[in-house]
Amino acid sequence: MNLTDRPRRLRTDGIRSLVSETNLSATDLIAPVFVDATTDERLPIESMPGHERVPVSEAVARVEEVLETGVEAVMLFGIPESKDERGSRAWAEDGVVQKATRRVTEETDAYVITDVCMCEYTSHGHCGIVEDHAESDPTLTVKNDETLALLAKTAVSHAEAGADMVAPSSMTDGMVGAIREALDESGHESVPIMSYAAKYESAFYGPFRDAADGAPAFGDRRHYQMDPANAREAIREVTLDVEQGADVLMVKPALAYLDIVRAVREEFDHPVAAYNVSGEYAMLHAAAEKGWMDLDETAFESLLAMKRAGADLILTYFAEDIADAL
Ligand code: PBG
């Protein structure tokens, strides 16, 4: 046997890290934080072990915990005190995200990103205004163009509260452009937009919908979120968001969509974010609890794979645990 090329030579402990192609660091990570206006104590989220919904009064303390691990950015989600057809608590000056954002930006050094969507705020749980009789007619869906104005108002209210970045997640056509224009007109031209640009209609969001109380009361989201069967369409979606002024391009979910992360990385020069969603977190926890896999190792490997596929930033419920381990 005459083996001149032996890749194993570069796998010894001394050289492994020198030749490693991908690095994961705490500063790549964004930790989601749930702020709940309906409670005055911290409530554990059952399907997402280690995560909680916290009242506004605990938002600063919760974010400080994140910062202590070395993670520098958070994504705020809100659970409002009440819901209605139009989701009017989404853009209220004294809304839950607005109040939490004001406190967290004033009292901590965290980079604060806010999720801009309607589904936690509407009584029907859809990501915008629904058509009349949508409840009984499954062909009816969210009114796209009327929803744009509400998303724009919501994003501006977050910026007014001090948000460093806004992240629209409703998959409304034109959402990035509408938000960019409204931010610019209100003097927030320096607030960037991280668009949930290629967001799929995914069963991996299950635990989040418990956490944020945002499951649709009827129907599903397939009329506005992407079909998991489609990859070329992701490039079309992302192209539209780039044309409308998106600063960071997100693919969501992450693990089952690494081909999309890679495709977006290759096609665009913008920073790419991957959202390691609630179901991806829950499944590793469930398997680890049964003793079938090691939690820290599978979590680390998953996040490393996202970076290897081309993600620059990762939104993940593992942020604090992984940052601690690093
Ligand atoms: C709001 C939103 C969702 C998630 C992030 N923003 C839920 C959804 O679209 O149903 C999911 C996040 C996760 O599962 O971790 N539209």
**What pLDDT digit, counting tens, does each position of 62-90 carry?**
999 999 999 999 999 999 999 999 999 99
pLDDT-derived band at 147, boundaries 50, 70, 90? very high
E-strand spans in the chain? 29-36, 43-44, 52-54, 73-79, 111-116, 165-168, 194-199, 248-252, 272-276, 313-316
Based on the residue annotation, tell me whether 252 is a catalytic residue of this protein: yes
Q: What is the mean pLDDT of the chain?
A: 95
**pLDDT confidence band for 139 (50 / 70 / 90):** low
Give binding residues as ranges.
117, 119, 127, 209, 221, 237, 278, 317
- Residues 144 and 127: their CA atoms lie apart, in Å, by 10
**0.80 cut: is pTM over it?**
yes
Q: Which atom of ligand 1 is nearest to the CA of 215?
A: 10
Place of tokens 């009440």: 82
Provide ipTM, 2 decimals.
0.94
pLDDT score recorded for residue 135: 72
111-116 and 165-168 beta bridge pairing: parallel
Alpha-carbon span 148 to 180, nearest angstrom: 11
CA distance from start to end of the chain = 41
* CA 55 – CA 79 distance, rounded (Å): 9
Q: Minimum mean pLDDT among 39-53, 138-152, 184-198: which range?
A: 138-152
- Does the pLDDT of residue 111 top 90, yes or no? yes
Residue 214 has pLDDT above 80, yes or no: no
Place of tokens 């109040």: 99
User: Is there an atom of ligand 1 within 6 Å of 74 CB?
Assistant: no
Catalytic residue among 99, 153, 199, 307: 199
The number of the ligand 1 atom at minimal distance from the alpha carbon of 115 is: 6
Residue 181 neighbours by CB under 8 Å, 6+ apart: 152
| Res. 211 pLDDT band, cuts 50 70 90 | confident
Distances (CA, A) of 98 to 90, 103, 158, 208, 316: 9, 9, 6, 21, 22
| CATH superfamily of domain region 22-325 | Aldolase class I (3.20.20.70)
Alpha-carbon span 260 to 227, nearest angstrom: 13
Q: What CA–CA distance (Å, rounded) separates 205 from 214? A: 10
Question: Is 143 among the residues known to form the active site?
Answer: no
Answer yes or no: is the C-beta of 278 below 6 A from any ligand 1 atom: yes
From the list 297, 242, 259, 308, the residue with the least C-alpha distance to 28 is 308
> For residue 297, what is the DSSP state?
H
The residues, any chain, with a CB within 8 Å of residue 231's CB and separated by 6 or more, are: 259, 260, 263
Residue 205 has pLDDT above 80, yes or no: yes
Question: Shortest CA distance to 196 belongs to which of 276, 275, 125?
Answer: 275
Residue 133 has pLDDT above 90, yes or no: no
Yes or no: say if 152 and 158 are a contact pair by the CB < 8 Å rule: no
The Cα–Cα gap between 187 and 248 comes to 20
Percent of the chain with pLDDT over 90: 87
Rounded to whole angstroms, the Cα distance separating 280 from 159 reads: 30
Given this model, what pLDDT does residue 134 score? 67
Q: For residue 247, how many other CB atoms are within 10 A of its CB? A: 17
